[in-house]
Amino acid sequence: MRKRSLLLLAGAAAIVASLVVGPAATAGPEKASAGTVVFIHDQEPPSLRVNWVDNQLYATSLVTNNIFLGGMSRDDKANWVLRNFASFPKLVKKSPLTVSFLFSPKAVWSDGKPITCADYRATWQMRINPANNVDSRTGWEDIRSVACKGKAGTVVFKKVYADWESLVAGNSSNLMPAHIIAGQDMNKMFQDSIPVSSGPWKFQSWQKGVQITVVKNTRYTVQPAMKLDRVVFRYITDTNARFQAMKAGEGQAMEPQAQLQIADFQKDKSFIVKAIAGYSYEHLDIQYGPKGHAALRQAYVRQALITGINRPQIAQALYATIAPGLPTLQSLIFKTFETGYQKHFARYPFSQAKVISILKGKGCTGGPDKPSAGNSDIFSCPGVGKLSFRFSTTTGNQLRALTFEVIQRQLKSVGIELVARFQPAGLLFGTTLPSSDWDIIMFTWVQTPSSKITSKDLYSCGGELNYMNYCNRKAHVLLEKTASELDAAQRTKNLNAAETFIAKDVPSIPMFVRPVFTIASAKMKGLTTPTTLEGSPWNANTWSIS
């Protein structure tokens, strides 16, 4: 077994070597100039309508967080910092849960209209309107009333909502301009442009397939004004082309997903490379619904999948150079560095022999009698058919493609087939993921320290982001309790209890906490490495270029 595992590892290494050299950038380079930073990214937003069912891309929030800027945001250490609020919101009383907030007297929209509590109230009403295809109404639907008096507001909840701070103050609220959205069809708003801004930059233009340009919002005075004149988000989908463009001086900043090319930048004094463990994790979701393969609704098949994937080997083989010591993640709720982290999924150590034993024990036939790197025999199981599954993920990401190839080889060696179904990010996350028309899908959830409070969105029965259609009633009750539990210790206890049921079911396979990287030209100052979905532009007003 050891020798066969090493053969699989060697095969992955060969794939790595073959993919280091690739096509050059095809889009014309953005000319660098004083006052401009070009931010190179791999995914282009499908629209500027953020946190919508058809647009849940992190790439969109990189642009819009500084346009629909809320009262507070998280810094690069995941701490709350003031933005458009005059002070931190206050928990007035617990029953009914009541919170007060106050916008800064300096807070205005870029068209000169003052930012007031009315904007927050309009945002709430927009989020709960059933006609709007928002990605989640969690928390918003628990608000009973929003009372406004100019810039001051009081939010009263119908029931306790533990993550009230994020809802009232954070960029998750994506503060909407009441005077712009009144009477509008929000499913069509902000498709190609945004007319106003509450943050340090405002939208200027979008050259589809190439770049989005934002420019300094001169009316933003709550915090120090942006030093730059503009930031250009340039979109290059090919991995090698992105890094080549950066090397060629066509960009000054990147927040790349983990890729092998980062190692070259770590050695180059012309660039500053930073890395940190963030609140994001790579995982594989498994489809329970009617559009997924019937075999995946069988617990033994899901347990065979996780047992047949050598997760530690993948991390070591593909990430050792750029993220040495990357640990296997054994939880879907807690990150490895968080208090409360327990290794719930460690119950599934890698064992090719066990996979075959599991499948044969359930009457599956047609597969191999023992693991083999050259195996082509695929199991079929009673009542559910051949174990051949569509595997969906994003195009243009080399390391993710390599991860797939290693997983594909490992599972094929024990009689399980994966068929690649790679798609552009906009299509994968905007259409495929919410449609539940997939079998296995690999992507990253980008989260915050408080995301665990609303784990019910992902793993409870009918959860708003539970595109797997997974349901365990015992876990559901615990996750629902967590969302209304104000005591942090009790929340941790509830979550770990819920995950004991989740881990037994294996609706999803945790891979590892995603290391977050930033690369900046040595001439650029201010770029930090983010830990949350605020992204590196959280402090864009401090960026400068020489």
Q: What tens digit of pLDDT does each residue of 336-356 get?
A: 999 999 999 999 999 999 999
429 part of a folded domain? yes
Q: Are residues 345 and 246 in the same domain?
A: no
Residue 91: φ, ψ to 5°: -85, 105
Judgement on whether residues 168 and 235 belong to the same structural domain of the protein: no
Cα–Cα–Cα angle for 195, 197, 200, rounded to 5 degrees: 140
Q: How far apart are the C-alpha atoms of 398 and 257, rounded to whole Å?
A: 10
Distance between CA 64 and CA 46 in Å, rounded? 13
**Is 241 contained in some domain?**
yes
Residues 400-428 as b or e (16 or more Cβ within 10 Å = b): bbbbbbbbbbbbbbbbbbbeebbbebbeb
Last residue of a domain, one of 221, 250, 277: 277
Q: Burial code of 515-533, b = ≥16 C-beta within 10 A, e = fewer?
A: bbbbbbbeebebbbbbbbb
* 325: number of Cβ within 10 Å: 8
Tokens of 285: 């979701």
Residue 415 φ/ψ region, left for φ over 0, alpha for ψ in the -120 to 50 degree band, beta for the rest: left
Contact indicator for 417, 378 with CB cutoff of 8 Å: yes
- On the 0-12 / 13-18 / 19+ scale of CB atoms within 10 A, 342 is middle
Q: Among residues 422, 421, 418, which one has the least CA distance to residue 397?
A: 422
Buried b (16+ CB within 10 A) or exposed e, 249-281: ebbbbbbbbbbbbbeebeeeeebbbebebbbbb
Cα(38)–Cα(453) distance, integer angstroms: 36
- 70 lies in the same domain as 122: yes
| pLDDT value for 412 | 98
Taking alpha carbons only, the member of 67, 53, 39 closest to residue 193 is: 67
Q: Indicate the SS3 state at residue 394.
A: strand
Per-residue pLDDT of the chain (546 residues; tens, 9 = 90+): 222 222 232 333 333 333 222 223 333 444 445 699 999 999 999 999 999 999 988 999 999 999 999 999 999 989 999 999 999 999 999 999 999 999 999 999 999 999 999 999 999 999 999 999 999 899 999 999 999 999 999 999 999 999 999 999 866 668 999 999 999 999 999 999 999 999 999 999 999 999 999 999 999 999 999 999 999 999 999 999 999 999 999 999 999 988 889 999 999 999 999 998 889 899 999 999 999 999 999 999 999 999 999 999 998 888 888 888 889 999 999 999 999 999 999 999 999 999 999 999 999 999 999 999 999 999 999 999 999 999 999 998 888 999 999 999 999 999 999 999 999 988 999 899 999 999 999 999 988 899 999 999 999 999 999 999 999 999 999 999 999 999 999 999 999 999 999 999 999 999 999 889 999 999 999 999 988 888 999 999 999 999
Q: Are residues 427 and 462 in the same domain?
A: yes
Query: What's 436-470 look like in SS3?
Result: CCCCEEEEEEECCCCHHHHCHHHHCCCCCCCCCCC
Cβ neighbours, 10 Å, residue 169: 24
Q: Which residues have C-beta within 8 Å of that of residue 290, sequence separation ≥ 6?
A: none
164: left (phi over 0), alpha (psi -120 to 50) or beta: alpha
Which of 546, 545, 543 lies closest to 200, judged by CA?
Answer: 543
Q: With respect to residue 395, please indicate whether it lies within any of the assigned structural domains.
A: yes
Per the CB < 8 A criterion, the answer to whether 31 and 186 are in contact is: no
| Angle between helices 488-505 and 299-307 in degrees, nearest 10 | 100
Provide the CATH number for the domain around residue 197. 3.40.190.10
Do 341 and 356 lie in one domain? The reply is: yes
Q: Is 341 within a domain?
A: yes
Beta strands in 42-176 (DSSP E): 72-74, 80-82, 90-94, 97-102, 143-149, 152-157
**Are 168 and 261 members of one domain?**
no
Do 287 and 397 lie in one domain? The reply is yes
Question: 10 Å Cβ neighbour count for 489?
Answer: 10
Q: What is the pLDDT of residue 397?
A: 86
pLDDT tens-digit map of 471-526: 999 999 999 999 999 999 999 999 999 999 999 999 999 999 988 999 999 999 99
Q: Are residues 95 and 228 in the same domain?
A: no
Query: Which residues lie below 8 Å from residue 247, measured CB to CB, with a gap of 6+?
Result: none
Structure tokens at 462: 């009918």
| Residue whose pair of structure tokens reads 């009633």 in the numeric block | 473
376 and 453 part of one domain = yes
- pLDDT at position 8 is 30
Same domain, 268 and 315: no
* pTM beyond 0.85: no
Last residue of a domain, one of 142, 161, 190: 190
Q: Which pLDDT score, from 0 to 100, does residue 495 have?
A: 98
- 474's enclosing H/E stretch is helix 473-482
Domain assignment of residue 542, yes or no = no
Among left, alpha and beta (phi > 0; psi -120 to 50; other), residue 35 is left
Instruction: Report if residue 53 sits inside a domain.
Output: no
| Residue that terminates a domain, selected from 257, 277, 297 | 277
pLDDT of residue 56: 85
Based on the fold, state whether residues 506 and 442 are members of the same structural domain: yes
Count up the domains in the chain and report the number: 3
Residue 49 in any domain: the answer is: no
CATH number of the domain to which 181 belongs: 3.90.76.10
Residue 435 and residue 339 share a domain: yes
Does residue 465 fall inside a structural domain? yes
331: containing domain: 2-15+278-515
d(CA 305, CA 111): 54
Q: Specify the CATH number for the domain of residue 357.
A: 3.10.105.10
Q: Cβ atoms within 10 A of the Cβ of 479, count?
A: 29
Q: Looking up tokens 């500084």, which residue turns up?
A: 66
